[in-house]
Amino acid sequence: MTLKRSFGERLFDVGNVLALSLLTLATAYPFLYVLFASVSDAQAVVQTRGLLLYPKGFSLEAYKLVFMNPSILTGYANTLFIVVVGTALNLAMTALGAYALSRQNVMWRNPIMFGIVFTMFFNGGLIPTFLLVNDIGLLDSRWALILPVAMSAYNLVIMRTAFQGVPVSLEESAKLDGANDFTVLFRIFIPLSMPVIAVMILFYGVAHWNSWFNAMIYIRTRELYPLQLILREILITNSTDSMMTAVGGGDRMPVGETIKYATIIVSTIPVLCLYPFLQKYFVKGVMIGAIKG
Amino acid sequence: MSLMPRRKSGPPVTGVDKNAFSYRAFRDLKLNKYIYVMLVPVIAYYVVFLYGPMYGLQIAFKDYSAGAGMWNSPWVGFKHFESFFESYYFWRLLRNTVLLSLYELVFAFPASIILALLLNELRSNRFKRTVQTVTYMPHFISIVVISGMLVDFLSRDGLINNVIAMFGFERTAFLGEAGWFRSIYISSNIWQSVGWGSIIYLSAMSSIDPSLYEAARVDGANRWKQTLHVTIPGIMPTIVILLILQIGSFMTVGTEKILLLYNPTTYETADVIGTFLYRKGILEADYSYSAAVGLFNSVINFALLVLANAASKKSGNNLW
């Protein structure tokens, strides 16, 4: 722009860049602190008072202990199972529902859609849902973390909106060639909607990866605990004791601190690795979700 | 659109009223049979897992015992509601729930709008993308990790207190003091969600017609005036819709995060209906009473949603 900018405008621009830089720093710093602390020398972290601008010393002791811990490993395995199976089920259900409910000529389309969207605003709540899961015998099984959240109405709306954007002529010509609705869905709609599928994988996958509340109320057996429940023990109830049986007496306290940081990094890395690849898609997903209907 | 079905050569349909419901229904079932096959698992899921619990809500009006089952437990009317309203907890839970939600609405809700407005004024696209990439990130971090970091940073010998001590001030056990809970809860929420929340406003801004800005500039509007008279009105429909949705979940403030952060010393300000439900219902297995408390909560929520939507109808930006 060649227009001359007034003093006030330039002042605003400088202030704006400053404010946003500060916000960015404030968002990133806690993660950087955790990262630095996790690879630091345990003794040094405990002695350091205040901000950590780079790792103090270097030690992977904490990571070694995290990966030797059986709870973390079974937690990881359980979470992986839930993420893979759960997301696959989520995708299948959402695609089927979105396709069926995006077809204009289906007679009961609108009432069914209403029945689904209604559940976004009113539902039975915690206790009746818990009793139901208990009654159908899912209590203390991994399926209690997968089946009750088999699909989300919000994501269904997003995918339906995307499917409505697929040109009708493609479907018609496929049907003239004798394709049925399943073929049309899997051969035409899904391949044409890959960006939305990517968004769905991100949304559902991250939700499964991060969820802990359902596990806390439905899972009793420790061997079935997902990663987040183990994390809760280590981070919130502060019991790193189980991990430190391998460490000699005097060193326990400091290592306990760095174990916490290493656990945070280890449990967050998978999501953060996927994040840059999917970023361009999820912005789109949020936008589609915002469109009414 | 020519989505009309191919007529298969079948029995002639003479003598049948083609507009009769049963005729249309039968034809639809035949024509769209694969669609209905697809809908079977979807409908089954919603009936079992979403409508099943709605049926189960009846225990709020019964004295549920596992032995008798949902159906055979005796009706007791509004007994559980009454004992909740009369209990010592009622006002404390209501106050905490309403206040946390209100603060969320007053401080966190506008924060994403302000961030979006500031980002929109940036001239450098690279800087803009950097800010966005970093500020979206906390949205993807689990609530357990976020709470764990809060517990660690806010502890007596944690990061925040170390910095405070560096400047010579007193250390405070932030999470052990009821007076601090609300500030910690709201500010960490803003930290976690402000970037993510701004996405939708930014996309609304990008779809504002550029000629509106040109016209405003010709009329002598500076950037502040343009923001006030073009950008904000342009994102108003988005703001209203999100506001309605937020009001529709007014009574369900972050139960999960509070469960991770609170402790008996902060119940005074931290205990909300959602966390009370978890303690009463799941830990103490007081099912009927908790179901009644939950129903009370859902009904208020739903009523608020309907009211907010009705109010916004006047501006034409309603949800339905």
Contact assessment for residue A107 and residue B28, using Cβ atoms and an 8 Å cutoff: yes
Query: Which of A180, A207, A231 lies at the terminal end of a domain, its last residue?
Result: A231
What pLDDT sits at residue B2? 46
- Interface TM-score (ipTM) > 0.90: no
Interface contact B25-A107, CB threshold 8 A: yes
Query: Which of A231, A266, A284 lies at the terminal end of a domain, its last residue?
Result: A231
Residue A201 and residue A247 share a domain: no
Q: What is the mean pLDDT of residues A228-249?
A: 69
The string of pLDDT tens digits covering residues A137-179 is 999 999 999 999 999 999 999 899 889 988 888 888 998 888 8
CATH number of the domain that A174 lies in? 1.10.3720.10
Residue A114 and residue A179 share a domain: yes
**What part of B 99-158 touches A (C-beta under 8 Å)?**
115, 118-119, 121-123, 127, 130-131, 133-138, 140-145, 147-149, 151-153
Interface contact B54-A123, CB threshold 8 A: yes
Query: Which of A184, A207, A231 lies at the terminal end of a domain, its last residue?
Result: A231
pTM tops 0.90: no
Residue A254 and residue A273 share a domain: yes
Residue A88 and residue A206 share a domain: yes
Length of chain B, please?
320
Residue A269 and residue A197 share a domain: no
**Which residue on chain B is closest to A232 by alpha carbon?**
B144
**A164: domain range?**
82-231
Give the number of other Cβ atoms within 10 Å of residue A72's Cβ: 22
A181 lies in a domain?
A: yes
Interface contact B199-A283, CB threshold 8 A: yes
**What part of A 97-136 touches B (C-beta under 8 Å)?**
97, 99-101, 103-108, 112, 115-116, 119, 121-132, 136
State phi, psi for A39 to the nearest 5 degrees: -100, 5
Contact assessment for residue B290 and residue A126, using Cβ atoms and an 8 Å cutoff: yes
A4 lies in a domain?
A: no
The pLDDT > 70 percentage for chain A reads: 89
Looking at beta carbons, which pairs linking B166-173 to residues 24 or more positions away fall under 8 Å?
Answer: B166/A49, B166/A50
Confidence of residue B93 (pLDDT cuts 50, 70, 90): very high
A75 lies in a domain?
A: no
Residue A246 and residue A213 share a domain: no
Taking CA atoms, A66 is separated from A61, A168, A249, in Å, by 9, 53, 18
Q: What is the domain count for chain A?
A: 2
Give the number of beta-carbon pairs within 8 Å between A and B. 256
Q: Does B5 touch chain A (CB under 8 A)?
A: yes
A9 lies in a domain?
A: no
Residue A225 and residue A89 share a domain: yes
Q: How far apart are CA B83 and CA B55, in angstroms?
A: 23
Residue A225 and residue A186 share a domain: yes
The string of pLDDT tens digits covering residues B154-192 is 988 888 888 888 888 888 889 888 999 999 999 999 999
- Nearest by CB to A129, from B35, B53, B142: name it: B53
Confidence of residue B211 (pLDDT cuts 50, 70, 90): very high
Q: How far apart are CA B213 and CA B208, in angstroms?
A: 9
Enumerate the residues of chain A whose CB falls inside 8 A of the CB of residue B120.
Answer: none
Q: Does A20 touch chain B (CB under 8 A)?
A: yes
Q: Does B160 touch chain A (CB under 8 A)?
A: no
Interface contact A93-B42, CB threshold 8 A: yes
Q: Is the dihedral of CA B242, B248, B254, B256 positive or negative?
A: negative
A13 lies in a domain?
A: no
The whole-angstrom distance between B21's CA and the closest CA on chain A is: 11
Q: Which residues of A196-231 are buried (b: 16+ CB within 10 A; e: fewer)?
A: bbbbbbbbbbbbbbbbbbbbbbbbeeeebbbbbbbb
Q: What is the mean pLDDT of residues A48-69?
A: 83
**Which residue on chain B is closest to A94 by alpha carbon?**
B42
- Nearest by CB to B149, from A132, A210, A264: name it: A264
Q: How far apart are CA A45 and CA A40, in angstroms?
A: 7
Domains in chain B, please, with CATH? 94-314 (1.10.3720.10)
